[in-house]
Amino acid sequence: MPYERRYNLLNSKFKELFFPTLLAAIAGNFAILADAFIISMLLGPMNLSVIQSIQPLAQFINMIYWLIGFGGTILATSSKANFEDKKANYIFTLSIVSIIVISLLIMVLGLLFPDSLLQALCNSNQLKPLVYEYLKFYLLAIPFICFFVVLAYFIKTDNFVQLQFRGFLIANVLNVILDVLLINYFNMGIAGAALAMAFGYLIASVYISTYFFSSRRTLKLIKLEFTKSMRYLVDICKTGFSSSSIALYQSLKLIIINFIILGVLANVGLVAFNMCCNAQLLVSIFIFGTSQSLLPIITVYYQESDYNGVEYVARRSLKIAIAFGIFFTLLFTLFPQTLLYLFSVSDPSHLPIVMNAVRIFSLSILAYSINFLYIFYLQSIQDNKLANVVTLLNGLIFPVAFVFIFSIIWNENGIWFGFVVSEIATLAFIYLYSRYVNKKSNGECTGLFMKKHHPEDEKILEYTIKANQNDAVNLSREVQEFLSDENGSVFISLAIEEILIYILEINDKLDWIDVIIRDNDEFAVISIKHAGIGYNPEENPDLDSDNINMLLSISDNIEHSEILGLNNTVITIKK
């Protein structure tokens, strides 16, 4: 078909977001891996048990900034896609203020009641002094980490991807340098690792705050009202809960499974489990980067009812997740010593147990990659109920249940196989539930991603053109033929042609333009999307045309938005 959509624009936007987001995810999680590597190298692998003990608190902090960051960015992006810029600004302001207040409160409570926190995190009298040394400085880092990460999520959706990446890079380069200086040269021990993290995120927070002074930003800080803020804060938390609860369930899971492992394998079991967690963390960096590229694009396109675009991005992300999953499964199954070498596990009595644990645990990585991606997909289409169910099963119920049961049956090996069965069980639930939904919808939804289909009585034209006048003219003919039964079809097609040519004139560099038209018994909706300077026929008087004026006269509504660096003009014509 001459007007076939080629997804060039969507593909280029996905690439534009994917690589910097992946690098930001690597940089954002590198601090944890760097701490573990440097601590094991300079202080010995048993000090990794301190990091393992602090992980429930770290996961809780992750839950807080994911709750506000993901929930806020999804709602703000959805608001902008629905042309509600004031609401988007309000959610942005509320999210920033909320994360500052909440993180400061956590820091103060932790500093005031360290003994209670230590009791919850660590039951080993031998480890408690070391855990406290790390904890007191980690608490100081919490406000900077939370503020930085939440702001980083928002600025990415505002097309400041490079600023986000450089901020993460600054935080973690400083963290690594200061780790070595404070631990090795200032003899601060494990406390130096936490202080290095705090200072790294302090500087990164100052740097990323330059966003507030940029003239290109579209998100603004505005005045808040208490009652309205509480209502929106509830919406933010509901929207962000499915992904943030991953960290909540991870905290609870770590506490419970740490006790199970200590009962079966003692302290060497924690070292082995820490290696498994490091393997999963390494994988999650890449899957998280993929998911973070998927989330804002799907949020926008789903709000615009562009279900073909949604499926294209979801399928592409799934292929990437599967590729990463297969690669890391093979790497850690065939060469588990790679991970042990990275984290300086060399005790001869530990090696057989740790290598065995990593080999078995690695069999869960492929299913884990798909499950992780799917949770973020559900969140991006705001299917919060299903996302919450999948997260609860995958993050807490299945792993705790299977690890407990299998540890009784098979002892040491049962622990690690419990994680494998947990991920497979989650994937089976996703597959069976998607089939149930598709069958129940009577053909309105299909596939693993439960892709929606437009009503049968709605005609759809999806057209991707190169940024040149010939394609604009050819598109005009296709539109006229497509809308041949509509009043004013000639004026509409010629007006679209003039809009496209004007867009070409005001943009020096433009590769692709997507034009999507949906036509049913009630209305026709015309969407023109590109990555250049936008044009709104209602607000821009530079283009004086009889065809444009005719289009304005028969249009019920014309709206314009700029999200993710894409300009979208939507024209609605009621019948």
One domain for residues 381 and 464: no
Q: In terms of Cα–Cα distance, which of 179, 297, 285, 190 is closest to 568?
A: 297
Residue 470 belongs to a domain with what CATH number? 3.30.565.10
One domain for residues 198 and 287: yes
Q: Say what the pLDDT of residue 380 is.
A: 86
277: amino acid identity, one letter: C
492 class by beta-carbon count within 10 Å (0-12 exposed, 13-18 middle, 19+ buried): buried
One domain for residues 200 and 318: yes
Q: Say what the pLDDT of residue 486 is.
A: 63
Q: 465 forms bridges with which residues in the sheet?
A: 513
Rounded alpha-carbon distances, angstroms, from residue 317 to 24, 94, 286, 419 = 17, 31, 11, 24
Q: What is the DSSP letter of 7?
A: -
Is residue 385 included in any domain, yes or no? yes
One domain for residues 94 and 164: yes
Q: Say what the pLDDT of residue 102 is.
A: 97
Is residue 450 included in any domain, yes or no? no
d(CA 327, CA 173): 27
One domain for residues 126 and 222: yes
Is residue 1 included in any domain, yes or no? no
Is residue 151 included in any domain, yes or no? yes
Is residue 448 included in any domain, yes or no? no
d(CA 311, CA 291): 14
Q: 515 forms bridges with which residues in the sheet?
A: 463, 528
Q: Please state whether beta strands 459-466 and 451-452 pair in parallel, antiparallel, or not at all (unpaired).
A: unpaired
Residue 546: how many other CB atoms lie within 10 Å: 11
In the listed set 440, 466, 483, which residue is the last one of a domain according to the structure?
Answer: 440
One domain for residues 184 and 106: yes
CA angle 213-536-471, nearest 5°? 115
d(CA 501, CA 503): 5
Q: In terms of Cα–Cα distance, which of 49, 59, 54 is closest to 270?
A: 49
In which domain, by residue range, is 477 found? 457-574
One domain for residues 121 and 221: yes
Tokens standing for residue 458: 């709605």
CB distance 567 to 83 below 8 Å: no
Is residue 451 included in any domain, yes or no? no
Is residue 2 included in any domain, yes or no? no
* 259: Cβ contacts below 8 Å, ≥ 6 apart: 123
Q: Say what the pLDDT of residue 109 is.
A: 95
131: amino acid identity, one letter: V
**Model confidence pLDDT, tens digit, residues 109-161:** 999 998 888 888 887 777 888 888 889 999 999 999 999 999 998 998 888 98
CB distance 264 to 415 below 8 Å: yes
Q: What is the DSSP letter of 5?
A: -
Q: Tokens 């939370």, residue?
A: 146
Q: Tokens 């060399």, residue?
A: 346
One domain for residues 215 and 93: yes
Is residue 452 included in any domain, yes or no? no
CB distance 289 to 296 below 8 Å: no
In the listed set 391, 414, 440, which residue is the last one of a domain according to the structure?
Answer: 440
Profile the chain (575 residues) by mean pLDDT over runs of 10 residues: 70 80 67 70 72 79 89 91 90 97 96 89 80 91 94 89 88 88 87 90 96 92 94 92 79 84 80 85 84 82 86 92 95 87 73 90 96 91 90 93 92 92 97 94 90 82 86 84 72 79 83 86 84 73 65 77 82 78
Q: Say what the pLDDT of residue 547 is.
A: 67
Q: Say what the pLDDT of residue 29 is.
A: 63
In the listed set 398, 415, 440, which residue is the last one of a domain according to the structure?
Answer: 440
One domain for residues 419 and 475: no
One domain for residues 502 and 359: no
**Model confidence pLDDT, tens digit, residues 65-117:** 989 998 999 899 889 888 888 999 999 999 999 999 999 999 999 999 988 88
How many separate domains does the chain show? 2
Task: Give phi and psi for 465, each to the nearest 5.
Answer: -115, 150
CB distance 276 to 357 below 8 Å: yes
One domain for residues 401 and 463: no
One domain for residues 436 and 471: no
pTM: predicted TM-score of the whole model, two decimal places: 0.80
- Alpha-helix runs per DSSP H in 304-394: 307-334, 337-342, 351-361, 365-380, 384-392
Provide the residue count of the chain: 575
* 3: Cβ contacts below 8 Å, ≥ 6 apart: 461, 462, 463, 475, 478, 482
Task: Please spell the DSSP secondary structure of 490-557, one letter per residue.
Answer: HHHHHHHHHHHHHHHHH-SS--EEEEEEEE-SSEEEEEEEESS----TTT-TT---HHHHHHHHH-SE
